[in-house]
Amino acid sequence: MKKVAVILILVFNLNVNAQEVSVEKSIFGIQAGFGTRVGIWLNIEMKLTNSIALRSEIGLENDYTVGTHYEGAGFILQPIVSLEPRYY
Phi, psi of 6 (to 5 degrees): -65, -45
CA 29/CA 62 separation, integer angstroms? 20
Q: What is the pLDDT along the chain (88 residues), one digit of tens a residue?
A: 878 888 877 777 666 666 677 778 899 999 998 877 788 999 999 999 988 999 999 999 887 766 666 666 677 788 999 999 999 8
CB 49 within 8 A of CB 21: no
- For the chain, the distance separating the N- and C-terminal CA atoms, rounded to the nearest angstrom, is 44
